[in-house]
A and B are shown apart, each in its own frame.
Chain A
């Protein structure tokens, strides 16, 4: 069975972002980029399913500019068998990304699509759900565990008040939470090997997906700063300032 895994190229989530001078985006020039952490968990899980023999082929895909190929090479170095790059100048919003992914899925016919539950840049937490809707497939979201049993996936979904266990028919879309697994590192020999793995390039037009904007960014701004705080000497002083200055304790 084939697994399609989506990987997004984002600003390294440990880098502090700065708003660009024109106020329409954050600065992306000379900024360290990385694979979105949740996508790493998704890829790792697909690779483990391959290690266990339940998956025979792992296909990684991404959409974006030419530098997105670098993120796909990383996916190949981690162990994906081949990659599909959808060349788009703009990073698509979730609905358009979902349409690109669904179109690739219709060509590739995977039985499972593994995705990160959200991307550390846009923080939308939508694309997996939208892919599942467009394909008419079941969705397993924010997963901390997933096992394949008799053509269904038993999935633990991390929700507001605990964990919900659902059984999802194949084919389906699964989105990974950080606690699903610990992603592997790409070793140097595997990075070398990845250079020879196939990477297919497609355009949105090849896939019949309309890239017209759905969302117009009017402004990107810094969040209002919090007034600077101060250190207190001990527990007694802390309780006193919380009662008398901040008035948050009675």
Chain B
């Protein structure tokens, strides 16, 4: 087996452990390349099926093509999609741009929205297969197991993550006292009130993700490719904080070349994200409170 086959097998194993052990499981889906690979691995693990809902936290600041792509894909494969949003913060203009700085905005629109969407404390919407529209979700089920596509090579605090990472009642991450993981045995037993983040992609690098997309021929959102203006997105997020990079890459193969030997060989992926730059350890602080 080559390294991509090993990575795939390991991630599939993790997804199956999660599915067996958690009665109430969901998967965070950001529409980006990592979570699209995660979705593909899910269909690998469950032989074409996606046996749990995808959750998208819509900050209302996403690049618009992302939302259209999201709905189209979920309708095509009939995947249950749940959408959560901090409607109050949006109504009160507690955003960036608006009244808040970038990090405070992340906390409001992402962390708070995520925590309250998962717990069922806030109303949610789901995609209706018949009409293609979002409708209020009647269920207030709390999700105790949440699969997320974070990778260890993205930034420092993520390199310290566990595959099955316990969060307490307040969704906080205790970095100094994480449960042990021995071999392929993970924390799948948990006290009432805890919930667990499951990270099947920790060992993947950005390059691995693109190599796998190429090998499996996985459709990804066209924003990643240069459409003729010499720019493309390397990482997708909210438009006020995520900028496209200068790049001529029009295909997956060209992206791989760029990462392997070209201009991005030595440049960190999230260098286009403004919120990572505001002081040391800030993403760790966000993550301790429940940020992805």
Q: Are A and B interaction partners?
A: no
A residues engaging B (CB < 8 A)? none
Interface residues of B (CB under 8 A from A): none
